[in-house]
Structure 1
Amino acid sequence: MPTHGHTAGNSLLQWLLPALVLLAAAVAYLFLARRARHRNPALSWSRWRTISFLTGLCLLGAALLPPVAAFAHKDFRGHMAQHMLIGMYAPLALVLAAPVTLMLRTLPAARGRQLTAVLHYQATRVIAHPAVALVLSTGSLAVLYFTPLYNATMRTPAAHWLLHAHFLLSGCLFAYAIAGPDPAPSRPTVRARLVYLGVAIATHAVISQLMYGGFWVDIHAPILQVQEGAEIMYYGGDIAELLLAIALVATWRPRPRRADARESPATREVAAPA
């Protein structure tokens, strides 16, 4: 498998930068959570959400820092472990922390209305739909592993980091579309989301089985590494998707039978309980 061959100085910078970004994200979330508690003591911010966000950052740190990151640069099994952490486990923890709701509680009123308006844009509704999120997260795996794209990303550090960004963003998008507690005006019914989750499970399983059998894959790595990486993808994906299904049930709230007709959808989303 191709390696990046960085110098010691570049390697140090490569690990230091993501560590600083994760630390900054943790500080920012803790600051906003503290502000939310002070603004409305009667409606305190859930500590479980704070723990969830910090857990997501720890999972990202485990994936992006040594020893996993160093192992992933030279072994396909390490890459697949990274994929699971960055694209499935960390996104679920980050999404369950409800960062959009936290911002709505802490931003000034004008900024909060702007953010609510963005959530109701037609483009946002399309991107946040589970079908689109499914294609971007799970569907893109076929493009990555059944074309020369994966080998190309391993040759260039910038492309490798872009791949990490894609895993994280698409994973967060899918977790948000399926089970996110944050406002989502275009989110379909629970039954429909379970169907999309089932499609994701089936697609994940098919791709990992094809990879294990060596059908159509274009991965420059020893066969044993590819097979064991496929097993990590198969079993690790099953566990992550089971957790997502549990989160969907846990975050589901029945719609009230009677709603005030004078209350706008935007107002209802901002006022959603933590």
Structure 2
Amino acid sequence: MLPELTLARGLSSWRTDPVALAAVGVLGGLYTAGVVRRTRSGQGWPALRTAAFFVLGLGMIVVATMSSLAVYDRVLFWPAAVQNILLDLLAPLGLALGDPLGLAAPDGPLHAAMTSRPVRLLTFPLVSTVLVLASELTIYFTPYFATSLANDPVRQLMHAQLLLTGCLFVLPMLTRQELLPRWCTHPVRAGLVFFDGLFDSVPGIVVMTSGTLVAGHWYTTHPRTWGPSVEQDQMLGGGLMLTLAELVALPFLIAVFIQWWHAERARTAELDAHLDHELTPAPAPSPATPATPLPEQPQDRVRPWWETDEGEVGHRMRRGRAQNRR
């Protein structure tokens, strides 16, 4: 029997998970190779993105699968609940902030796979939201979770499922527009992230208030002489799930607003440069050139920016003008 979980043991108890360690090594190696390749090409890569990928993304995978949460998840329910939330919500957020797709070559296999029809269907906002919610509820209210406590391969599968379903929603929201429908603009993304935060609280509320014990047979047949009762343990786990889900939703929403701000700044700079180019006067004729009478031409006029803009705003302005002429 494991000793009582105290703060000191919570910080010092660790175990090695070979599968998770191999996955972290592969992901970290591929990301490092992408950063090195981009740096050598002279483009550079933001250090904050690298830190987010390794510390918040891969770091949370390590904490969830190898820290005291993994040591005590077969003895207490609440460490397993926290472990699953880290893999489902926080680790995908860190991986997405690292923008791994930005390191992929535009004509490479990773980019082709991420923009394929099956992946675009799975990353469709409403589909990915339902997948995240269904994944968590299926884990806690079917024999899935109880089986994972006694079976390591099933446990590894559950962890991979949580990480994958979380990434299906988070990655498109914080990376490339081509992974999302055209209507999913930054304001729409902010609304989707807000409502997703509400949906993410549902599993925690259900677990906390449920009269049915999650994996109750396992925890009652593995009694402890310390810590909360099985019922209190489940209430604590559900409360932590709810709290962590809401805490993760805030930085997620802030990240979407920051991307929205950067996108608007880039668009404004592009429009300003376009207007400056149109308003630049034509160079005067050289004095050495003999004056040659030319047929009278109409005076040049400066066309409105929306007549030549290829963006969504330009298209809407032209459609509106055409409808007014009818």
Shorter-chain TM-score tier? 0.7 to 0.9
User: Following TM superposition, where does structure 1 have runs of at least 4 consecutive aligned residues deviating by more than 6 angstroms?
Assistant: none
Aligned to 1:234: 242
Aligned to 2:17: 15
Amino acid at match of 1:202: L
Q: Is the 8 A contact 2:52 2:97 kept in 1?
A: yes
Go from structure 1 to structure 2 and tell me whether the alpha carbon gap of 1:137 and 1:71 turns closer, same or farther (over 3 Å shift).
same
Aligned to 1:192: 188
Q: Cα deviations across residues 14-63 of structure 1 (Å, max 9, x unaligned)?
A: 62442243234323322220111111x1x211111111111111111111
Go from structure 1 to structure 2 and tell me whether the alpha carbon gap of 1:260 and 1:137 turns closer, same or farther (over 3 Å shift).
closer
Match of 2:310 among 259, 265, 273: 259
CA distance in structure 1 between the partners assigned to 2:142 and 2:111 by the alignment = 39
Q: Is the 8 A contact 1:201 1:241 kept in 2?
A: yes
Q: CA deviation at 1:99?
A: 0.8
SS in 2 for 1:104: coil
CA distance in structure 2 between the partners assigned to 1:179 and 1:136 by the alignment = 18
CA distance in structure 1 between the partners assigned to 2:150 and 2:192 by the alignment = 34
Aligned to 1:163: 158
CA distance in structure 2 between the partners assigned to 1:16 and 1:124 by the alignment = 28
Match of 1:37 among 36, 39, 51: 39
1:81 aligns with 2:82: yes
Go from structure 1 to structure 2 and tell me whether the alpha carbon gap of 1:115 and 1:142 turns closer, same or farther (over 3 Å shift).
closer
Q: CA deviation at 1:196?
A: 2.8
Aligned to 1:268: none
Give the percent of matched residue pairs that are identical in Structure 1 and Structure 2.
21
Q: Is the 8 A contact 1:211 1:226 kept in 2?
A: yes
Go from structure 1 to structure 2 and tell me whether the alpha carbon gap of 1:246 and 1:210 turns closer, same or farther (over 3 Å shift).
same
**How many pairs align?**
242
Amino acid at match of 2:84: H
SS in 2 for 1:44: coil
Go from structure 1 to structure 2 and tell me whether the alpha carbon gap of 1:201 and 1:217 turns closer, same or farther (over 3 Å shift).
farther
Q: Is the 8 A contact 1:98 1:182 kept in 2?
A: no
Q: Cα deviations across residues 161-186 of structure 1 (Å, max 9, x unaligned)?
A: 10000111111111113333575243
Aligned to 2:91: 90
Aligned to 2:198: 202
SS in 2 for 1:147: coil
Q: Cα deviations across residues 222-245 of structure 1 (Å, max 9, x unaligned)?
A: 111110001110110001111111
Aligned to 2:253: 245
Structure 1 residues 61-76: aligned runs within 5 Å: 61-76=62-77
Structure 1 residues 32-181: aligned runs within 5 Å: 32-39=34-41, 41=42, 43-55=43-55, 56-104=57-105, 111-112=107-108, 114-181=109-176
Amino acid at match of 1:136: L
Higher relative contact order (CA 8 A, sep 6+): 1
Return 5+ residue gaps in structure 2 as ranges: 1-13, 220-229, 272-308, 313-326
Tell me which moved more, 86-95 or 146-155. Answer: 146-155
Aligned to 2:316: none
Q: TM-score, normalised by structure 2?
A: 0.67
Q: Is the 8 A contact 2:190 2:253 kept in 1?
A: yes
CA distance in structure 2 between the partners assigned to 1:69 and 1:250 by the alignment = 34
Amino acid at match of 2:78: R
Q: Cα deviations across residues 189-243 of structure 1 (Å, max 9, x unaligned)?
A: 2333333323322223233222212245643241111100011101100011111
Return 5+ residue gaps in structure 1 as ranges: 1-11, 106-110, 262-274
1:27 aligns with 2:29: yes
Go from structure 1 to structure 2 and tell me whether the alpha carbon gap of 1:134 and 1:243 turns closer, same or farther (over 3 Å shift).
same
Q: Rg bigger for which structure?
A: 2
Q: TM-score, normalised by structure 1?
A: 0.78
